[in-house]
Amino acid sequence: MVLIIAVAVIAVLIVGIRAIWHKPDASTLSRKTPAVVVVIDPAHGGSDVGSSAEGVLEKNVTLAMANKMSALASEFPSLRIVLARSTDADVSADGRIAVASTEAAQLFVALHVNAFGQPTALGIETLVDSTHKSGDASWTFAAAVQQGVVASTGGKDRGVRAQGSSFARLTIPAASALIGFVTTPEERAKMIDPAYQELVARGILQGIANYVAAAGVTPVSSTQTVPLEKGQTAKPASSTTP
Ligand SMILES: [Zn+2]
């Protein structure tokens, strides 16, 4: 009898403690700081190696940069970084754009490396889809990303230019950062150097954060949905990718 009472008392105590322990705490729930969701898209992947030279593959360079950006993201609390791929996987253009939709992303940055027939081309450039009019949000965003990378790396500034891409379907500001020429030996050496990859990653993040601050971009509530799907299906896919 005593044993039964003792077991019952212990059981009541355990249940009580667990109830207190798991009691929802409003201050805890509201502590999560809202942030602007940014999709980082390491271009290529899997069977699509992208540009290459001397065994250095674009798909690996872009993935390394993206992973660096994830690692550094906590230094930029105004941003929440989501990767369109985090492994060496084939991801379709539609799949990459779908990540922006499902994550309610507000900004999108693709990562590429450049290639040229001569081993002398140098520098950083950023592309916007050619459907954008000069001076619109994507152009301003691309300029901020470009300036961020150039400031961080000290690389040659090749500026921002337009090119046809699959991002015509995105309804959020989008840019493609080309972080150097894999065909130029000195830039190829840099892009596989983890220290340089970190400079690029930090530069892009700083550029995005600068744009968010300057343009007054505020986080979209997680309960809101970004009307990407309708916009995406309204237009056919462009056939070219930078
Ligand atoms: Zn590429």
Q: Which residues contact 225 (CB under 8 A, 6 or more apart)?
A: 104
**CATH-assigned architecture of domain 36-219:** 3-Layer(aba) Sandwich (3.40)
Separation of 225 CA from ligand 1 center, angstroms? 30
Separation of 97 CA from ligand 1 center, angstroms? 16
DSSP for residue 101: H
Distance of alpha carbon 143 from alpha carbon 5, whole angstroms:
73
Parts of the chain with a pLDDT under 70: 1-32, 221-242
Separation of 52 CA from ligand 1 center, angstroms? 10
Separation of 14 CA from ligand 1 center, angstroms? 58
* 215-218 long-range contacts, CB within 8 A, separation 24+: 215/137, 215/140, 215/141, 217/36, 217/106, 217/107, 218/36
pTM of the entire predicted model? 0.79
At 4 the pLDDT is 60
User: What are residue 125's DSSP bridge partners?
Assistant: 178
Cα within 13 Å of Cα(63), Cβ side? 18
At 106 the pLDDT is 98
